[in-house]
């Protein structure tokens, strides 16, 4: 069923990465659907072959709590053995949230093929396109 990008973004940085990642997958010839996390259920997302998941560092090095965490918490139980890429924007934490997220995914038996943490001071568009192309 191809690749899906699902993201949450409060101030737009991770959304911009999500759009670039999706564009990269398509540029590499893959099919790719893109949804904000409140627009797709975990079960529907889990039906895709490969998933690209985007969420910025929130809380204290955590995933965003109201929408993305409930979505991801349901999803992680459904995608054991599947391949994912994780991406998102962060501020002052040095990318620690992404290390925590990757370890959490791997503990669920999810194959984390690639991660892309992008500092909020950077324009990550080119890196995100390359990330999507490579993932495809
Ligand atoms: C409530 C809140 C909590 C945050 N917590 C962290 C954090 O723990 N570590 C960090 O590196 N950045 C943190 N940030 C910074 C965001 O990750 C950063 O601004 C990011 O670019 C936001 O992405 P977005 O535009 O996709 O919402 C936080 C920002 C907000 C608003």
How far is C-alpha 126 from the geometric centre of its chain's CA atoms? 16
* Ligand 1 pocket by Cβ (under 6 Å): 9-14, 56-61, 89-93, 97, 120
% residues pLDDT > 90 (the chain): 99
Q: Which CATH architecture has domain 6-129?
A: 3-Layer(aba) Sandwich (3.40)
| Whether the predicted pLDDT of 1 surpasses 90 | no
Query: Angle CA(115)–CA(83)–CA(46) in degrees, nearest 5?
Result: 115
Among 90, 95, 121, 123, name the best residue to mutate to test ligand 1's pocket (greatest count of ligand atoms within 8 A of Cβ): 90
Per residue in 17-52, pLDDT tens?
A: 999 999 999 999 999 999 999 999 999 999 999 999
Burial 13-31 (b: 16+ CB within 10 A, else e): bbbbbbbbbbbbbbebebe
**DSSP 8-class letter at 110:** -
Quick check: 16 and 121 in contact, CB under 8 A? no
Whose CA is closest to atom 15 on ligand 1? 91
The band of 5, judged by pLDDT with boundaries at 50, 70 and 90, is very high
Distance 59 CA to ligand 1 centre (A): 8
% of the chain beyond a pLDDT of 70: 100
Could you tell me the pTM of the whole model?
0.98
Domain spans in the chain, listed from the N-terminal domain onward: 6-129
Q: How many CA atoms lie within 13 A of 43 on its CB side?
A: 0
């Amino acid at each position: 069923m191809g690749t899906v990008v699902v993201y949450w973004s409060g101030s737009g940085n991770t959304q911009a990465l999500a759009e670039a990642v999706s564009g990269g997958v398509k540029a590499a010839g893959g099919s790719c659907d893109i949804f904000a996390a409140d627009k797709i259920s975990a079960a529907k997302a889990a039906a895709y072959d490969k998933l690209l998941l985007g969420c910025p560092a929130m809380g204290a090095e955590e995933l965003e709590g109201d929408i993305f965490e409930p979505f991801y918490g349901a999803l992680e139980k459904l995608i054991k053995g599947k391949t994912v890429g994780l991406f998102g924007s962060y501020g002052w934490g040095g990318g620690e949230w992404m290390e925590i997220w990757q370890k959490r995914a791997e503990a669920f038996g999810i194959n984390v093929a690639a991660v892309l943490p992008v500092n909020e001071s950077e324009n990550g568009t080119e890196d995100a396109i390359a990330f999507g192309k490579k993932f495809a």
